[in-house]
Structure 1
């Protein structure tokens, strides 16, 4: 930071209505609750957004408190690099990491990718999510989205063969990836894998619960399997090589873009395909993740498309094509 004034941190909880409802195997919701961090120094303000994830015991209130508790450390000189060792991976660190990087780029008059020495993101195709429901409801949703080149299908366990067959019938040309969100069991795993293979699914996310996925190393995997809940940061990669073919990198899990980029480098060195994913959130959450897209085989940054409205100045979406952020939004 070049300003002589110490940075000032502000944070708040925001609520964003979802268009309809968003349902996965663990339940549904009608709004996205995000926490925004803003770090101001001199005339510049950096912003970052995170989504606390109940799956890992995070709440918006605790995340907000964790962010605000960092004020004195920032005044004392804590920067983005020091943050990695000072705060554990998770939503709070993500918001602050992205805010500090945004601030650093604005003060330096650079784009974030230039600052980091990374390739500039380009327009790319994002998946569009079909929520879990009855085969009939999912087929109707797939029919409406059948012109999109990449669909992500939320599944939930028993009956998933009927669901994925119904979706494929209504979206015959779309590439399909599915996300079981840990809902499959050893009893239905191979049956569900066969159902996905039969309709040409390209990738399956997290079929078994994290910590109970050893069976994936002992069976034939007719479709590539992607780790989501089983992978968080670089330290978790090595143990996944026999069970998974790809990993889903989400900034809220990794604890920010700094770790996510390092994680992507490490994962590719180990032979994993990369998927960049998101929670349901605004474009402020998606914008930093765009820096991962040059390395990603799969991009799933459709969070704003699932909202009733995005924040002003959000990312540009043209159908399923998402464009890099303007500097006014982030980075």
Structure 2
């Protein structure tokens, strides 16, 4: 097995604004694993609020390259067990795990859904993100969009804006990216009308969730608070839903475990994304048959996508049915 890797720049179609800042580009690390005539692809991106440095990932890959290339091609769960011994950042582990699943499926001529017996009909429909802006601009974007589901980013709570969004009678979620105060959260979870929002994502900074009550009217969804399997039981009294992102939890292998555990505990689950190319989005799409919600618009937000595969069109998840993760570079 051989490994190659390179850093790509993803150009956003328009400035992406969230409570953490404004972005016009994202850097992505593309990982390629090859064996015989097959190539598998995985990806992770540089997110500053996660303190991701892709140059450090490159250094780490150079350190472990010979170890990776010595591995026999076995089941992806065995490869993930090997990765787990290397003390890798979850983002980097995710890129490697996804690349291996893509390679393995192509070698076996079976899709990821076939290999894991995942339903591929009645897939969760994806939202599209409406970035932080004046509320009238956000409403205009919603009304002009051909998508049916929306995730509206907000920076702090404006009660008048909440009322305006609710009056639209559309399928809307809120994502404050940790910008709500304790008082904001109390008001939201005690307000009956808030039930009309499909979910309210990551209201408070990490580990500051004790003000939340899952019995309230808000469908609180954990994002940064829910980094992996071990966080689920601790968050149970506070959150009704969890956002499972491959990069956060370390790839497709742990994501499958996390979905199973979350369902056992009674959570609603969402397959989420960051600003990613179709390499990353293809992997996430394959899990939507197991999820209640999807937020996989990352590749729709960039202008220079460098891959093809599974994709999202006006919110509808479209699976290619091709072997592995179905990823091809353009």
Q: Please, what TM-score do these two structures have when normalized by structure 2?
A: 0.89
Choose the corresponding residue for 1:263, options 239, 258, 279: 258
Equivalent in the alignment of 1:163 = 161
**Residue 121 of structure 1: how far off its partner (Å):** 6.0
Query: Is the CA contact (8 Å cut-off) linking 2:118 and 2:287 kept in structure 1?
Result: no
Q: Which moved more, 1:233-242 or 1:220-229?
A: 220-229
Q: Deviations over 1:102-156 (max 9, x none)?
A: 11111112112222343346654210110011222222222222x4221111111
Equivalent in the alignment of 1:45 = 39
Query: Is the CA contact (8 Å cut-off) linking 1:175 and 1:202 kept in structure 2?
Result: yes
Partner SS for 1:36: strand
Distance 1:114 1:69, change over 3 A: farther
**Residue 282 of structure 1: how far off its partner (Å):** 1.0
Residue 179, structure 1, aligned to residue 178, structure 2 = no
How far apart, in 1, do the equivalents of 2:62 and 2:7 lie?
A: 12
Equivalent in the alignment of 2:114 = 114
Query: Is the CA contact (8 Å cut-off) linking 2:13 and 2:302 kept in structure 1?
Result: yes
Consecutive unaligned residues in structure 2, runs of 5 or more: 73-78
Partner SS for 2:16: strand
**Residue 166 of structure 1: how far off its partner (Å):** 3.4
> What pairs up with 1:27-66 in 2 under 5 angstroms?
27-66=21-60
Consecutive unaligned residues in structure 1, runs of 5 or more: 1-6
Partner SS for 2:132: coil
Equivalent in the alignment of 1:92 = 92
Query: Is the CA contact (8 Å cut-off) linking 2:296 and 2:312 kept in structure 1?
Result: no
How far apart, in 2, do the equivalents of 1:280 and 1:45 lie?
A: 23
How far apart, in 2, do the equivalents of 1:148 and 1:120 lie?
A: 21
Query: Is the CA contact (8 Å cut-off) linking 2:132 and 2:154 kept in structure 1?
Result: yes
Distance 1:286 1:53, change over 3 A: same
Partner SS for 1:12: strand
Choose the corresponding residue for 1:206, options 202, 221, 230: 202
How far apart, in 1, do the equivalents of 2:196 and 2:4 lie?
A: 47
**Residue 44 of structure 1: how far off its partner (Å):** 1.2
Equivalent in the alignment of 2:63 = 69
Equivalent in the alignment of 2:7 = 13
Query: Is the CA contact (8 Å cut-off) linking 2:282 and 2:311 kept in structure 1?
Result: no
Partner SS for 2:42: strand
**Residue 316 of structure 1: how far off its partner (Å):** 4.1
Partner SS for 1:214: coil
Aligned length: 320
**Residue 40 of structure 1: how far off its partner (Å):** 1.2
**Residue 199 of structure 1: how far off its partner (Å):** 8.0
How far apart, in 1, do the equivalents of 2:323 and 2:235 lie?
A: 38
> What pairs up with 1:271-290 in 2 under 5 angstroms?
271-290=266-285
Query: Is the CA contact (8 Å cut-off) linking 2:194 and 2:217 kept in structure 1?
Result: no
